[in-house]
Structure formats: structure tokens, C-alpha cells
Amino acid sequence: MTRAQTEQSPRAAAPTGTRTRIGVTVSDMSSLIAQGKEGMAAYAAERAIDLVWQSAGGRGDVQESQVEQLIEEGVDAIVVAPAVADSLGPQLTAAADRDIPVIAVNTGLSDPSGLAATVLPDDIGAGEEQMKLMAGKLGGQGAIVILKGSPGSTAERERTRGIENVLANYPGITVLAAKTANWHRDDAAAAMREWLSAHGDRIDGVVAQNDDMGLGAVQALEEAGRSVPVVGIDGIADGLRAVQTGHFIGTFLQHGRVELAAGLAVAARIARGEQAQRAYTYTMPAVTRGNVAGVLDHVVTEKDRFLQQIATLTDQNLRTGDLANESPRRRWINSDWLGNFLLRHSMVLVMLLVIAYFSYRSYRFSTLDNWLTIALAAAPFALIALGQTLVILTGGIDLSVGSVIAVSAMTSAATIKAHPDQLVLAVLVALASGLLAGAVNGFLVARVNVPPFIATLGMLTAGSGLAYVIGDGAPINGLPPSFGKIANSTLFGIQAPVLVMIAGVAVFAVVMSRTSYGMRIYAVGGNRTAAELAGVKSRRVLFSVYVISGLLAGMSGVLLASRVISGPPNLGSGYELDAIAAVVIGGASLMGGRGSIWGTILGLFLIQTLNNGLDILTVPAYWQQVIKGVLIAAAVAVDVWATKRRAA
């Protein structure tokens, strides 16, 4: 057995503070991993990291021993590029017992539950994109052959899935043959020779799951005097040159230096107790003849210059989430503390300007009583906005909360009218109504795969009608005075809805920033496929956020009904739009994966402050809508601009 060699990276001058010692064990020294070693070494030298590097030579048992050795040495973290997908289970447990985080890069594990984080390529996306490129080249008609990687590996499985996803949309393209070539050039050349002998001129294109196999196909084609389109993945030096010469129609860049440096950076963050995501995704950009020259500079001709800036680039990419970006950008106002403060708190600045304006126009605006009025008006919206935040963070939307408020209000009112002494029962019925509606939404979205917009729009329509059915088309009045105690009781002069809002904000702020559940929500919204590869049960997460949203809408409904001591069937109409606006104004992305509880609350109070201030100034209702729309759009524009400048 060939023993893997361990080597220490060159030490940079130690900055103030403790250096971090990170062990790395990789499957083998492929061209991509060799690139990654260079990227890791360059990052380590710039960021006070002592790097212990090992290669398993393609053997899972050797890699298991290497991980055990690193654990015994007491490294601060371990980065592993797995040699075998269904391995390292006992080693991950041992590392966890020693509080040593393990981060997987480049290749995933079948059971990733013991991993602290993953930095993985989007192999499904790469397979889809390379097949789309080939389909476009063939005009949607023709016969292809497919060269596959090692069977059972994550990359082979996911890239095959991506290819098949696209082929399902192109019935005019047939697959003559598909064969495993184990990522190797020679195996691919041998397979291509067999296919040329068997199929001859019927072969119209070659889809290779990596560049090395694509180059083997090119070799066999040239020997036979044939030329057909070939597409690869990885963007190794020879593959890029094949794109430049026209032997490949394209490839998809998986730059080992960039990807593995990102894995090391994540490991260092976790080892130092800094915040990091559970799952990062490297999305491979397309390389064609139009952009191959610039990519060749980074990968081959200007490699040393590129490595000099890889530490800055990697940290930037982790901030933006675009791990494949290879263009370091200068941060705006890098040394100006005030400028950075304003960029990070642009929404706070807008809020302060609005407050200053209304305070100047009316002394009534800045009184304590008025601020309590604003808080009381905001409380029901805050509850549904909290639920909406969770839903939007997963990339969904809940249009049904307004009608759920109405149904919950009507059911609680009907219950307390029928049973005047059962106040708790009335509250529980309202909460159960909201929970049931959320569960239906969650089932449709998570299990049936109905788009969130359609599922919740259906619930909005059904709920609006049901609210009128419960009251026979009229409000439910004549409720006992005790029902009003739910929302109108006070503590230290603060009304119950405001106290409920404060408690809700505190709980969800902790949940989203301090718990694994919060991290799973962000992971599903950021990249559902990568989250699932990291062990996140995305269907459960999706189901749960809609249940929570429905439950909070039910709570809001009973508070609103209690305030007016009646059950209006149109209660909550349009509330969903203000809740969505609050979340988006607060900095959340409707695509998912970005946003915060505090941002939502800031957005909500901006809306409520506008409502209150414009009422005090007796601005006509129609002008209020115009002014609110313009200011809300401006606030979002400022936040988007600031976000882009921060990324730059």
C-alpha cells in the first residue's frame, strides 16, 4: 500500500492572534484537486492558516485513516474531498466528539449529517447546461453518445440527472450509447473507438461528464478522421484549449483553486467561531469561444497573479454567495467608517428621515401616545409579517394570510358567542383554524409541488368565501365583553397585542439567527438542491414555514377580532400585501435565501409610520396611496443600490 504523504504549507508572517491549523484529505491528485491545492495554499498563507495536506490515492480506507490521524493531532478543522461517497461515518462521529468541524468540498457524502458544512458544485445544473448547449448546437435533432464518470460518485449521479432532465424536453435527440469511462481520458478514447466502429456516421455529438473524457473522445474522433460537437465539464487547461481550437463547443468551469479555497475559508470561519452557512454551492459558469481567453488567463497563463488575489476574492465570494466569481472588486469607501455605516444601515437612514419630517410637520407625531398607537397598529401586521418572512426566505410566498385572519376571527367570534364563558376555547379554535390553513398550504407546496403562488392564492379565495359562510354573510356581533380582554388588556400601560408582537419578534429573531432550524430555512431558500445534499430535509422545512405562517395569521385574527369585539368577515383583507411589502422593504429577496427578522420589522414600521404621519397631516387617502407607493419604491431602491455597492 502506498502511504499518503503529509506536508505542511509554507508559513506566512503570523498576524496578531492565534493561527488556525486545518487538515485536508483529498480523494486523489487529479488535475482539479492539484489546482485546489494551489488555491488552498495561497489562501492559507494570507489568512494565518497552517495547512496539513494529505491525499488518499483514491482509496476510501486510506482516507478514513487520514481523518483519524488528523483528529488525533487535534487540528482545528478538517476539509475532506471524499474518495468514497458512503464512507467516513465513524470518523465524523469521532470528530464531533472532539468538537472538530468537518467540511466536505468538491464531492458530497451519502450521509452528510455529521458535516459542519459543505462546499459543493452544482453538478445537476452543470449536466443540464452542457446538455442544453449540445441540444442547441444540434438544433434539437440528432443522436449522441454520453461518457460518464465513476459509477456511484456524486458528480456522475448528479450530472447524469441533469442531462436526463434536459433530454426529456428534446424528443428529437436520441442516446445511441452511454458508458462509464471513470473520468479518464484513455478509457473515454477506448469507448469512443468502440462506438465509432458500431455506429459510424450516426453519431452527431458527444456529451462528456468531464473534460478529460471529452479529450479522449476528441482523440478517437481525430484518429477516425471524424469531427462532431463535443462538450465537457471542469475547464481544465487542456479542455479550455480545446474550446479555443474548436474541438469542444464548450465546457463548464469548475476552477479547483477557487472552489477548494472557498472550502478552506469556510472551515477557517467555523474553526474560529465565526458565522458560516451550512451549505455553499459552486455554480459552474459556461466557457465558450467567446470568453475562453479570459478564463485561460486565470487558469493557465496568469495563474500566479490570480493566486495573489485569491484570498480577497474568496472572502468576497463568501459574502456575495457567488463562489464561482473570478473578478475581485474594490470595496466602496473601504476606509470610511461613516460611509460603511450608512451603506449597512440604509433602511434605518430612510426611517430616520421619515420620522424627522413628520416630527417637524406636527408636534403630535413624536409624542409617546402616538408611538404607542403606531405600535398597536403594527402588532397584527407584525405577526403575519414574521410568518411571511420565513416563507419568503424559502423562496415561497403566502397570499392567504388575509383570508386566514378573517376565518380565524370569525371562528373565534362564533365560538365565544355560542359559549360565552369559554374564552380559552375561542382562542384555541382561532389558532387551530390558522394552523389547519397553513398545513394545507404546506402540503400543497412541499408534497404536491404546487407553486406557492397558486397554492396560497387558492387558499386566499377559499378562505375569503368561508369567512362569509361562517357568519351567513354578515358580521358576528353581540359578543360578551370578556372577549375584548384578549386584545385590550394592558401591562405597564402597554396593550396585549404590542406585548405579543415584542415576544414574537424576540423569539423568531433568536430562532433565525441562533438555531439549526433557522439555518435550514436559509439553506433551502439559498439552494434547495445543495441543502438536500447537505442533509436538510427540505420538504419538512417548507411544510413547517407555511404552518407557522398560518398559525401566526390565526393569532393575528383573534387579536383583531378581540379589539373590535366582533367578527367582521372582511377582516384582514389586503393585509397580505402590506406583510409582503414589509418583508421586501426590510431587505429580503423574493427569490429566497436572504432576509432577516429585524429587517422585516423595520420595513413594517416604515409602512406604519407613513400611515400614521400622513393621517396626522390629514393627507387625503388617495394621495396617501401615491406617497406611500413612491416612498416604498424609493426605500427599496436605496437598499438595492446599497447592497450592490457593498458587494463591489
Write out pLDDT tens, residues 178-212.
Answer: 999 988 899 999 999 999 999 999 999 999 999 99
* pLDDT at 364 (0 to 100): 84
Same domain, 46 and 138: no
* CA–CA distance, 529 with 527 (Å, rounded to integer): 6
3-class SS of residue 163 = helix
> Residue 10: pLDDT band by 50, 70, 90 thresholds?
very low
Share of the chain above pLDDT 70, in %: 91
b/e sequence 360-392, b meaning 16+ C-beta within 10 Å: eeeeebeeeebeeebbbbbbbbbbbbbbbbbbb
Does any domain span residue 3? no
Least confidently predicted of 223-232, 264-273, 327-336, 468-477: 327-336
Taking the C-alpha atoms of residue 273 and residue 271, their distance in angstroms, rounded to an integer, is 6
Kindly state whether residues 81 and 159 are assigned to the same domain.
no
- Residue 535 β-bridge partners: none
Which class for 337: exposed (0-12), middle (13-18), buried (19 or more C-beta within 10 A)? Answer: exposed
Q: Are residues 277 and 316 in the same domain?
A: yes
Please state the rounded mean pLDDT for residues 397-424. Answer: 92
- The answer to whether residue 348 sits within a structural domain is no
Residue 638 Cα distances to 146, 149, 582, 591, angstroms? 49, 47, 15, 19
The answer to whether residues 397 and 511 belong to one domain is yes
* 136 and 239 share one domain: yes
What is the model's pLDDT at position 331? Answer: 44
Q: CA torsion, points 416, 417, 418, 422, in degrees to nearest 10?
A: 30
Calpha distance 386→124 (Å, rounded): 33
Do 303 and 245 have their domain in common? Answer: no
Give me the pLDDT at residue 16, please: 44
The dihedral built from the CA positions of residue 305, 311, 317 and 322, taken in this order, carries a sign that is positive
Q: Decide if 249 contacts 230 (C-beta within 8 A).
A: yes
Q: What is the pLDDT of residue 642?
A: 55
pLDDT for 165 equals 94
Give the pLDDT confidence of 101-151 residue by residue, as tens digits: 999 998 888 788 889 999 999 999 999 999 999 999 999 999 999 999 988
- Of 343, 323, 313, which is closest to residue 263 (Cα–Cα)? 323
For range 531-550, the mean pLDDT: 87
The helix/strand/coil state of 7 is strand
pLDDT band at 640 (very low <50, low <70, confident <90, very high): low
Eight-class DSSP state of 253: B
Is residue 590 included in any domain, yes or no? no
Question: Residue 306 domain-assigned?
Answer: yes
Tell me what pLDDT residue 6 has: 36
Entry pTM: 0.52
> Does a structural domain hold residue 294?
yes
pLDDT score recorded for residue 636: 63
Check pLDDT > 90 for residue 293: no
Whole-Å CA distances, 387 to 256, 265, 383, 397, 401: 40, 33, 7, 10, 9
Same domain for 199 and 291:
no
Q: Which residues partner with 287 through β-bridges?
A: 251
What does the DSSP assignment read for 53-122? EEE-TT-HHHHHHHHHHHHHHT-SEEEEE-SSTT--HHHHHHHHHTT--EEEESS--S-GGG-SEEEEE-
pLDDT at residue 275, as a whole number? 87
Q: Across residues 89-94, what is the average pLDDT?
A: 92
Please give the Cα distance from 269 to 12 (Å, whole number): 18
Q: Which residue has the higher pLDDT, 308 or 529?
A: 308
Q: Is the pLDDT of residue 65 over 90?
A: yes
CATH number for the domain harbouring residue 175: 3.40.50.2300
Q: Which of 304-308, 410-414, 621-625, 632-636 has the lowest mean pLDDT?
A: 632-636
Residues 391 and 428 in one domain: yes
Q: Is residue 534 part of a domain?
A: yes
Instruction: Indicate the average pLDDT of the chain.
Output: 86
Q: Using an 8 Å Cβ cutoff, are 387 and 548 in contact?
A: yes
Q: Are residues 48 and 147 in the same domain?
A: no
Which residues span the domain enclosing 44?
20-120+257-320
In eight-state DSSP terms, residue 574 is T
* pLDDT at position 12 over 60: no
Q: How many CA atoms lie within 13 A of 335 on its CB side?
A: 0
Q: What pLDDT is recorded for position 335?
A: 40
Going by pLDDT thresholds of 50, 70 and 90, the confidence category of residue 328 is low
More confident residue, 301 or 440: 440
Lowest average pLDDT, out of 10-19, 87-96, 341-350, 526-535, goes to 10-19
Confirm whether 548 is domain-assigned. Answer: yes
Q: Give 574's pLDDT tier (boundaries 50, 70, 90).
A: confident
Last residue of a domain, one of 229, 253, 277: 253
Same domain, 201 and 56: no
Task: Count up the domains in the chain and report the number.
Answer: 3
Q: Residue 7: is its pLDDT beyond 90?
A: no
In residues, how long is the chain? 648
565/483 Cα distance (integer angstroms): 6
What percentage of the chain has pLDDT greater than the value 90? Answer: 49
390 confidence band (pLDDT: 50, 70, 90)? very high
Co-location of 412 and 303 in the same domain: no
Cα first-last separation, the chain:
50
User: Is residue 362 domain-resident?
Assistant: no
231-262 pLDDT, tens per residue? 999 988 888 888 988 999 999 999 889 999 99
- Does residue 221 sit in the same domain as residue 265? no
Burial 267-303 (b: 16+ CB within 10 A, else e): bbbbbeeeebbbbbbbbbbbbeeeebeebbebbeeeb
